[in-house]
Amino acid sequence: MKTIPLRDFQREGAKAFGVTRSIEPWLLVGREQEFVLLPVTPENRSAVMDLAEGLAAVMALRQDQARSVDEGLNQLSLEEIDEEIRNARKDLHRRKHSA
């Protein structure tokens, strides 16, 4: 994976990548953020989009897992989880009938 400073990319745009057309991913590195750029061609568009969607799902799952640990929800027993589900369903049922 090739790395390019984000500042160079912002200043020079596509010129910062050079003249070579590569299928290799690029890592744009900034002070507080990094970005991965993947070349997309008509032949690999579907595969790249599937990869991006899968990666987004994994990242969302990890965030949810970390939040559950922070909030202590990972310590709930199965009975407590079932109770939460029952309460949520009751609330949803009440809202449907009161609307």
Higher pLDDT, 18 or 47: 47
Question: What average pLDDT does range 82-91 have in this prediction?
Answer: 95
What whole-number distance in Å separates Cα of residue 41 and Cα of residue 64?
A: 33
Is the pLDDT score of 64 beyond 80? yes
pLDDT value for 20? 64
Can you tell me the distance from the alpha carbon of 86 to that of 88, in angstroms, rounded to the nearest whole number? 6
Query: What's this model's pTM, rounded to 2 decimal places?
Result: 0.59
Of the ranges 13-17, 41-45, 69-73, 84-88, which one carries the lowest mean pLDDT score?
13-17
Rounded to whole angstroms, the Cα distance separating 24 from 6 reads 17
Q: Is the pLDDT of residue 99 over 70?
A: no
Structure confidence by residue, pLDDT tens digits, 28-49: 899 889 988 888 889 989 999 9
- Contact between 76 and 82 (Cβ < 8 Å): no
- What is the Cα–Cα distance from 17 to 2, expressed in whole angstroms? 9
